[in-house]
Amino acid sequence: MSRQLAMDSINEYFESGEFFKLLSERVAVRSESQTPEGYPQLSVYLHQHMIPYLEQMGFTCEVIANPAADDPNAWPLLLAERIEDPSLLTLLTYGHGDVVRGYDNQWKKGLSPWQMIADGDLWYGRGTADNKGQHSVNLAALKNLLEVKGELGFNVKVLLEMGEETGSPGLDLFCQQYQDRLKSDLFIASDGPRVGAQYPTLFLGSRGSMNFDLTIRAREGSHHSGNWGGLLSNSATRLMNAWSCLIDGKGKILVPELLPTQLPESLREAVQDIPVGTGEYDPELSPDWGEPGLTPAERLFGWNTLEILACHAGNPDAPANAIPGSAVIHAQMRFVVGSQNEQFLTIIRRHLQANGFEDVEVTPAAAVMMEATRLDPDDPWVHWAMNSIKETTGYAASLIPNLGGSLPNATFANTLGLPTLWIPHSYPACLQHGPNEHFLGSVAKQSLQIMTGIFWDLAEQGLSIKEHRQ
C-alpha cells in the first residue's frame, strides 16, 4: 500500500466524472438558509445527501436542532463520528451545506443556480465554491483513502452546519454544549479562496467581522424639495458627511482607534510574496485605495477595512422631488487580531459626536460578530501541512496567517481549543455570493489530490506531530 496508489485512485475517481455527478446532486438542493422558506431543504441536504454518504464510510450520524433557533427546522447541525481506535489521533473537520440566495434571474443565459453546468474549466452552480464543493472534496478524499487502505488510521469527527450564510447562529453554543463529543486533536477544513487559482494555499485563521448601521431620522416622511429645500436638513446629506469623517475618499480609515495596534513583522514576511488580484478572472485592483504604505497583501491579510454594504434614502427605484426625512447606511468592519473590536461601536459613536453628528444612531446589525483568529505560523502542524502539500504538488503552498474574509474559526480555535488549518479549494473570482458562482474543475482535481495526501500523511505522521507539539 502506498501514497501513490491513493493518488492514482483519486485521479481515476475524478476522471470518471463521479465527483462531478456527486456535486451536481448536492448543488440541486436549494438549501438557502436566510428565510424560513428554505429551512426544509436544509434538512433534505443532511438526511438525503450527507448521512447516507457518511454512513457508507462507517460514520454514526446525528442531526441536532440548532440551540439558538426558535424554529426547530432552522439551521440544523450534523455531528458524525468514525472512531477506529480511541488511542489514535482524532481529526475534526467542518463544512456548511447552506448557501446564499440563488438570485435565479440574474445568472447568465443558459445557467441556473440549482443545475451544475460545466463550461470548460468553470463548473457553475450555487454552492459549488461555497461550500458544497469544498467539503465534498474533503469527504471524497477520506472515502477514497478508506477504500484504498480499508482504514483511515485516525479517528474523524465531522461537523456540518446549515446556517453559516446567516452568520453561524448557534454554532458556538452548540460546540460548548457538545464539547466532550467534539474533543479532537486537530482541525482541518476548507472554505474561502486560495490566494489565486494556481496557488495551493494554507491559512490559519481569519479576519473578524462586525456589521452595524448608521441611521438618521430627522423627521417623519419626506417633504417637497421645492417648497422646503434649503430649510430642512437632508438626512442623506448629513449621513454621507458623517461617513466621510470615518473614512476618506480613497478608503483610508480616519479613526486611529479602529485600526490594529500594529502590523507584525512576521505577518509582513509571511505575505510578502502572496499575489493579490493577479488571477485571470480577478477584478482590477483600485490604485491608491486603502491604507497608504501597505502592499495589497498587507491590506488584505493584516489590516482593518471599513465598508458600506448598502445605503438607503428616499425611493431609489422611483426618485421623487422630496427631501428624505431619514437615511441609513449598512456598514461593516473587517478586523485582524490586535484590534479593539469590542469597543468599535463606542469608538464610532464617540467620534461622530465629536464631529457634530449627534443625530447619527450607531447600532449593531443582526449579523453575528465573528472574532479574529490566527494560529502561530511556527506551529508544528503548520510545517507538517506545508510539507504534505509540497510533496503532493511539487511546490510550496502559499501560507497566509489569516484569511481576508471571516469564518467561524474562533469557535474551533477558542471554544474547542484546537490548532486550525484551512486548506481552501476555491479562488478569489469564484463569484461565491453573487450570480454565476462557479468552481474550477482543475482546482477540484488538484484539491482532491492535496487532501488525499494530507489524510495519508496524517495517518502516517499525525501521532508523532502531536507528541512533538506537546
- Which three cell numbers, joined as nine digits, stand for 269? 514576511
Q: State the CATH number of the domain containing residue 94.
A: 3.40.630.10
- Which three cell numbers, joined as nine digits, stand for 179? 464539547
Do 145 and 241 lie in one domain? The reply is: no
Alpha-carbon span 211 to 169, nearest angstrom: 15
Do 184 and 241 lie in one domain? The reply is: no
Kindly report which listed range (233-242, 247-256, 270-279, 354-363) carries the lowest average pLDDT score.
270-279
Nearest 5°: the CA angle 242, 243, 246 is 100
Full domain range(s) for residue 313: 209-260+304-364
The percentage of residues in the chain with a pLDDT greater than 90, rounded to a whole number, is 91
Q: Is 80 exceeded by the pLDDT of residue 415?
A: yes
Q: Is 80 exceeded by the pLDDT of residue 280?
A: no
Last residue of a domain, one of 312, 332, 364: 364
**Contact criterion met (CB below 8 Å) for 236 and 314:** yes
Residue 418: pLDDT band by 50, 70, 90 thresholds?
Answer: very high
- Does some domain include residue 98? yes
Do 120 and 245 lie in one domain? The reply is: no
Nearest one of 40, 31, 35 to 72, comparing CA atoms = 40
Do 187 and 226 lie in one domain? The reply is: no
Q: Is 80 exceeded by the pLDDT of residue 368?
A: no
Nearest one of 301, 282, 284 to 430, comparing CA atoms = 282
Do 247 and 173 lie in one domain? The reply is: no
Angle, to 10 degrees, between the axis of helix 3-15 and the axis of helix 441-469? 150
Element (H, E) at 90: strand 90-96
Strands 155-161 and 90-96: parallel
Nearest one of 60, 26, 54 to 41, comparing CA atoms = 26
Q: Is 80 exceeded by the pLDDT of residue 316?
A: yes
Alpha-carbon span 64 to 76, nearest angstrom: 6
Last residue of a domain, one of 296, 329, 364: 364
- Does some domain include residue 228? yes
> According to the model, what pLDDT value does residue 275 have?
86
**Contact criterion met (CB below 8 Å) for 335 and 253:** no
Segment 395-419 mean pLDDT: 93
Do 202 and 238 lie in one domain? The reply is: no
What type of residue sits at position 90?
T
Q: Is 80 exceeded by the pLDDT of residue 367?
A: no
* CA distance readout (Å), 204 to 150, 298, 379: 31, 16, 10
> According to the model, what pLDDT value does residue 226 have?
96
> According to the model, what pLDDT value does residue 266 have?
83
Last residue of a domain, one of 364, 399, 432: 364
Do 379 and 360 lie in one domain? The reply is: no
Segment 263-280 mean pLDDT: 86
Residue 20: pLDDT band by 50, 70, 90 thresholds?
Answer: very high
Segment 342-364 mean pLDDT: 97
> According to the model, what pLDDT value does residue 370 have?
86
- Does some domain include residue 213? yes
Q: In the sheet where 186-189 sits, what is the strand order?
A: 60-64, 77-82, 155-161, 90-96, 186-189, 420-422, 201-203, 398-400
Work out how many domains the chain is built from and give that number: 2
- Which three cell numbers, joined as nine digits, stand for 349? 459613536
The pTM of the full predicted model, rounded to 2 decimals, is 0.86
Do 37 and 175 lie in one domain? The reply is: yes
